Amino acid sequence: MADKLAIGIDIGGTKIAAGVVDEDGRIVARLKRETPTTEAPAVIDAIAEITEEFRREHHITALGIGAAGFVDSTQSTVLFAPHLSWRNEPLRDSVARRTGLPVMVDNDANASGWAEWRFGAAQGEADLVLITLGTGIGGALVIDGQPYRGKFGIAGEFGHMQVVPDGRPCECGNHGCWEQYASGRVLTRRAKAAAADGTDFGKLMLADAGGDIERVEGSLVTRYADEGNAEAVEWIAEVGDWLGVGIANLAAALDPGMFVIGGGVSDAGALLIEPAKAAFSRTLTGRGYRAEARIVRAHLGPEAGLIGAADMARITARRRRPANPSARVRARATARPGRSPLRRK
């Protein structure tokens, strides 16, 4: 068991989700905490407390952190985390000092993409693009069985591709970004507008939100779509259309074998995925004369990030250990077919 358990931690703007994960991607223990503040020292304190609690019951060999932000190519520093107000935060070394464990830090979408490739929807697929649809759009790439982070560690920020010149303003400072048309913020924006305008559908959602328009969220649209509400289904389909257009653009540039769709908006299932597939097929460059990538829903849900972070940390810690011939023999004997070791790009 000595090498089998690692901690994965997914840091968001409002919560910290953590788990002890074994070599097969199974979570054997879970904890969740509110993110204490947006300040790094308090978050590091919370990570240290979570780690100590897990270590009372489990032998832990590594700790992986998925952070919602830009992480540098050395997987040590959070360069920019807008929801946490972090800038050039040396998270890996700070947490390692507090816990005494080998620590790996990566973007949360990269961790989710790795988890889906190792244990989820994309097992056996060499070239994968993960698209996470939440409030915005995040993404990750696995190319030839390896995570691809780019020269500076920031690859996969697909949500800020411009799809509509001079389109809707985006929080990034540009206009017409993909996430302004194909993310949870689209559903939330439309839901709040309908509630404010007093449409029949808006009144339904406002009543569900206890009359508080600030509590009207895109998740209500998904719920009503699942229940067969025609307007909600139409809104989800429009997001799916824009999703398919963006996927076609990515296919033209990257030509992966599979697109995996995760994040909270993917809870709409086929109501989102089928329109995305249709828009992808009619928009794809060279359509009719080339193979089309598969588009599937992610399998691991909201825990993909912590599963992937733990697995990355475990593999990275093993790679950094001093050479041991007998250990190398054991590693070869237990390696999964088709699974190459994680290496830094």
Residue 128: per-residue pLDDT: 96
Q: Smallest Cα–Cα separation from 133: which of 257, 271, 18, 297?
A: 297
Residue 342: per-residue pLDDT: 63
Cα(139)–Cα(301) distance, integer angstroms: 15
SS3 34: strand
Quick: pLDDT tens for 65-95: 999 889 998 889 999 887 777 899 999 999 9
Residues in the chain, overall count: 345
Angle between helices 184-197 and 200-208 (to 10 degrees): 110
Quick one: DSSP state of residue 74?
A: T
Return the H-helix or E-strand segment holding 275. Answer: helix 270-283
Token pair listed for 18: 């953590």
Cα(270)–Cα(235) distance, integer angstroms: 13
* Chunked mean pLDDT (size 10), the chain, 345 residues: 82 90 97 87 95 96 93 91 85 96 95 97 96 92 94 92 94 92 95 97 96 95 96 98 97 96 95 98 94 96 96 91 51 45 52
**Contact by Cβ (8 Å): 215, 195:** no
Residue by residue, what is the 3-state secondary structure of 161-172? Answer: CECCCCCCECCC
Token pair listed for 3: 């090498």
Cα(231)–Cα(183) distance, integer angstroms: 17
Global pTM value: 0.87
Alpha-carbon Rg for the chain, nearest whole angstrom, is 21
Residue 31: Cβ-neighbour burial (10 angstroms; 0-12, 13-18, 19+)? middle
Strand order in the sheet with 86-89: 70-71, 78-81, 86-89
Delimiting residues of CATH 3.30.420.40 domain(s) in the chain: 6-114+302-334, 126-298
Residue 328: per-residue pLDDT: 47
Residue 261: per-residue pLDDT: 98
Exposed e or buried b per residue across 249-268, where buried means at least 16 C-beta atoms within 10 angstroms of its C-beta = bbbeeeebebbbbbbbbbbb
Q: Which CATH superfamily is domain 126-298 in?
A: ATPase, nucleotide binding domain (3.30.420.40)
Options 3.40.50.1820, 3.30.420.40, 3.30.1360.170, 1.10.3720.10; CATH of 6-114+302-334 = 3.30.420.40
Q: Smallest Cα–Cα separation from 8: which of 39, 43, 41, 54?
A: 54
Cα(260)–Cα(138) distance, integer angstroms: 12
Strand order in the sheet with 258-262: 146-148, 137-143, 128-133, 258-262, 294-297
Q: How many CA atoms lie within 13 A of 82 on its CB side?
A: 5
